[in-house]
Structure 1
């Protein structure tokens, strides 16, 4: 029995060491950028390419996110319904308060409400992050990435993990091709995902597929 325990502990140590080495060799340092008018101009060009005014004019949007997360976001009335498994969480996006339902019955469960709120923050960010590069509490700077200007956006407040940073890699039309991010939830800095399969949603350009360490596909968007 003791021998088996020692073998298990040894395997766990090897796995931990391997993961640590992977993080060390794969992580990139957060790049240093230059703030100022050029960074603001690049952000404006990106927002223009994606038609942010069209997104702002959309009153209600619904979509599905991987792992069975379904959303109906009433932007006009600042409300969102989050559904997964047997749960439905209705959130007031202004006050971050709301109601929780399990199998159609209203329940008092703060943990479920917090889970729904975190799902919404994460899953909506993968939907509309390009439109949030000038949100309150953001800092923008220009980074030279492989010979071209990229936009580094750092979030000092808001969301679930303030302090996260995202490097937007743009095409010739200033439309995002990919991003790299440095977040507290992901130990490997500079992880890259694509932004592709763009669709026109009442004039607004929305990416519905992200290729990275896993594939993230937005479906049922309307």
Structure 2
């Protein structure tokens, strides 16, 4: 059967856009994909986690009340830790998240309060943004959150890392330098196409409050930029 010219063009466009993606995926999978490493000694994991927090000056982070940042130049956040609130800005939208009770949050379009279905959609979107984007800013400081477990993991290259598990579907391994400071994070989550993807955590800034927060993460040619990172007491 001969293909019509329009169909040939469509197929060609599909191949043009999907083949490089498939090749990149295959390269990344065989180069970086790996199973979740075996873990032992939870007490030693706690000790490694405490050493990491000490290297990060966790006390300064605890004493930081206001944290602001912009995620990939798309969304801006102003987080008030003491009041357990965070205002999320993107496009023409603003959501004042109540982190203690999402139902008390307020949603705005062009500074006009909205409720009902529109408000619910904006609220759910803001919650999703906040939970994802705040991870890339403060993940190391959450290793002793409720429900989180900590173990020592042995990676494929023989090095030791801090395995942090949030749920059966969400686990991470922190790779630390000689002083216990985080330098990269390997990930195993159901949101990724394969496990073992490693993102850098080596571009840090010290805020006015003394808290240390990251400004950039990199995997291969991909990056997550955090701009306008501010921390005050």
TM norm structure 1: 0.87
> Matched residue pairs, number?
217
**What is the distance in 1 between the residues matched to 2:86 and 2:212?**
21
Displacement after TM superposition at 1:115 (Å): 0.8
Displacement of 1:144 after TM fit?
A: 2.2
Q: CA 1:195/1:23 → structure 2, altered by over 3 Å: closer, same or farther? A: closer
Q: Which residue number in structure 1 is paired with residue 109 of structure 2? A: 102
Residue in 1 that maps onto 2:49: 43
Equivalent position SS for 1:208: strand
Say whether 1:215 aligns with 2:220: no
TM-fit CA distance, 1:117: 0.8
**Corresponding residue of 2:64:** 58
Gaps of 5+ in 1: 157-161
- Match of 2:153, SS state, is strand
Q: Distance in 2 between matches of 1:200 and 1:209?
A: 14
Q: Compared with structure 1, are the counterparts of its residues 217 and 24 closer, same or farther at alpha carbon in structure 2 (3 Å cutoff)? A: closer
Distance 1:23 1:170, change over 3 A: closer
Q: What displacement does 1:96 show?
A: 1.9
- 2:159 paired with 1:148: yes
Q: CA RMSD in A?
A: 2.4
Name the residue aligned to 2:147: 137
Distance 1:55 1:196 in 2: 18
Shift of 1:54: 1.4
Q: Deviations over 1:114-149 (max 9, x none)?
A: 111111111111000000111111111111233432
* Bigger Rg, structure 1 or 2: 2
Partner of 1:159: none
Contact 2:38 2:154 in 1 (8 A): no
For residues 203 and 24 of structure 1, the distance between their equivalents in structure 2, rounded to whole angstroms, comes to 39
Residues 219, 18 of structure 1: CA spacing in aligned structure 2 closer, same or farther, 3 A cutoff?
closer
Q: Does 1:127 align with 2:137?
A: yes
Matched, 1:204 2:211: yes
